[in-house]
A and B are shown apart, each in its own frame.
Chain A
Amino acid sequence: MEPIILIPIILPFLLGIAGTKILFKGEKIKTFYVISAVTINLLALIGILNIEGAKAFHLLKINPFLDIYFKIDKLGILFALLASILWIFTTFYSLAYMKHEGKEERFFVFFILTLGITLGIAFSGNLFTLYIFYELLTLATFPLVIHAGTKEALYSGRKYLIYSLGGATVALLGMILLFSISNSLNFVEGGVLGTVNIDNPKLLLTIYMVMFLGFGVKAAIVPFHSWLPAAMVAPTPVSSLLHAVAVVKSGIFVLVRVCYFVFGAETIRQIHGNIYTSVLVFITILLGSLLALHQENLKKRLAYSTISQLGYIVLGIILLNENALIGGLLHLVNHAVIKITLFFCVGAIYFMTHKKNINEIKGIGKQMPVTMTCFSIASISLIGIPPTNGFVSKWYLALGGLTENKIIFPIILLLSAFLTAAYLLPIVVTAFFHGEEKKDIKKLDPPIKMLVPIILLTGITIFLGLFPNVLLHYIKSIVENLV
């Protein structure tokens, strides 16, 4: 029964490849095919999660290093479910949105493929497997980034490739060095290094930094973040799903694996790895927020905002205590939901009116009331105003900072929250409270396929803010064993 856990990973590959033939057979077939592909995959995923015993599987084992190994654990399930559910929302959204971008077939082939790879990352049982899927993710999303095919898109695509592949290469170096010490790269709660004596902390620190920075490229850690704003030339569903959820969150996910399943919190504390990285995270949080203020283009503004918010999550990871990690993992989920909503709204504006910049959207709230209301709620949530989900994660992050007796962390968080307000609220205000009042306003809310995901996601934002406990308890049960 064990190989059954491969199904949600392999299925999208097969469906994607089959899609190269089927997708071209007409509008209705395409819609049906894409929707059923992602839904079936989610069902398969839920199915295998409920099967007892199917928890781990060696696909190919040549030696302890070259070992393709899948394992299902709670953290993986969290990430896999998050990705799969948001994938479905994005599918509906992009079915409507991609009409005006063209070349939908190519888009959907890679779109489905990427789902499989993301799930592969979630269920990787050791660092080597993770690395393979990590590289695959870069390659599979590359065609999505350069979808428009313009010069700018190609340039950004190249930038994306260079950064991602470069980072992965550096991380590979770290993996090899690490393997020479630990002789195992399997994920173990509390770290594989737990039993190994630390006789060379300097080397270990180097390995840690190399891996942190290498994998951190995808998590957009400064100074390796500039691919993210550049990648905003991609169509909106790509920006929203990949550059707010799948790709960047994979980076984060890998960092969690590295910090808590490979090194272990104790080891990192001993080699003082968290001190070096916290400096970078500081800069990441503030840089993202501050530079977002300077962006006129809505998507770019959201991209810089993503950088800053990813900084929050990484902060939660590197503080190495329970509250902080809870906050980080919560924010992993919350930020995904919030940011995807924001991107969807911005995409809806572009889809309906072809407006990209802030100064063009005066009074658009009166034309697109539903869209902009959702945008406002998501903005408030991203700032971290209760009773939305953004607040819950910020609360835990700040407490985590205080647990470490470092008051600077909550201060940075609040400063960044203030800046978040400064770059998001003007959008809301311009949309609703500027511009003339016209008698007959043309309603421009987007088609139902785009609107429903936006509304549902906004609902989730508020729901998770009012009743965070289910998610919170699940995350607590993950964190308990890690710190």
Chain B
Amino acid sequence: MIEVRLRIPLSEFELSVALDLAGPVTALFGPSGVGKTTLLEAVAGLRRPLEGEIRIDGELIYSSERRFSLPPERRRFGLVPQDALLFPHLDVRANLLYGFRNGGALSLPSVAEALEIGHLLDRRPSRLSGGERQRVALARALLSQPRLLLLDEPVASLDVELKDRVLPYVKRVRDLHRIPTLFVSHDAADVLSLADEVVVLDRGSVVDRGTPRTVLTHPVARGAFFKGRFENLLESRVLGHEPEEGLTRVETERGLALSIPYREAPLGERVLLGLLAEDVLLAKEAPVGLSARNVFEGSIRAIEEQGGVAMVEVDAKDSIYVRLSHGAVRSLELRVGLPVHLIVKTHSIHRLS
């Protein structure tokens, strides 16, 4: 159990959180610049909060009231920063052994094997690829026998292909070593595949928390994603396949039928689908002669405008969020309650799990 209560003033807002995290794997979720990394650094002891208290399994780590702060070297929290931060003047082996602590469950050969970095031991960090760096940084943190792992966007800086290679390692670490983990992410798919619990941060405050599926498919987490790329998450079931058309038919829990790109999957399998709000078209009248496969009727439940953009929530059995420009909302004279049609290309919908 990790108890974190912190206040840290940032340049534009104040980070202020009070959390009890049961884990074992907790995700801090939210768009960039809301204080996720700051929170992680404060827990690691790299940044002094204005006030607050941190405990792990009841042990006091930091308390502003008692003027107590356990120095970072005695916290035993393994930090893996977003950019890996390997020691450039040391080879991989020396990096891994920098914080090595004897007597723990983890040894260099076992960790190197699990993360497939055994062949890199004599290399300099400058001769490693991005995915290799992340794995070495993770191994280095593990070998210090941490009682808590702190991962900052463990896979975010990687492209999709690399991500598919690193993610399994993070999962393996989670399953093999059972080290409580707090990780930062702005990617819903990563959170879904790794975390037991998710905490949604926005401008320094906790706006929602719960299991990843309930939080991320629920509209409350949405406010946080106004600025960034917002993804509609649709919990669905496979209904049938039309391989000759390259399609798989699915239906969401609330009965919205969708066509997605063909993918082998047994009938009835549950899949989680992602659909970017900016990939949805909105029409006031029923469109005709369209190539897009997914056209559904619905009505506008809410319109939220901020900056030059608007998020339109459409009730089409499921709630679908559509991102439009301010001007589009004006010229179409959109208002709450108005019946509309949504148009989605098959290939705009992708599987997250």
Partners in one complex: no
User: Which of A's residues lie within 8 Å of B, judged by CB?
Assistant: none
User: Which of B's residues lie within 8 Å of A, judged by CB?
Assistant: none
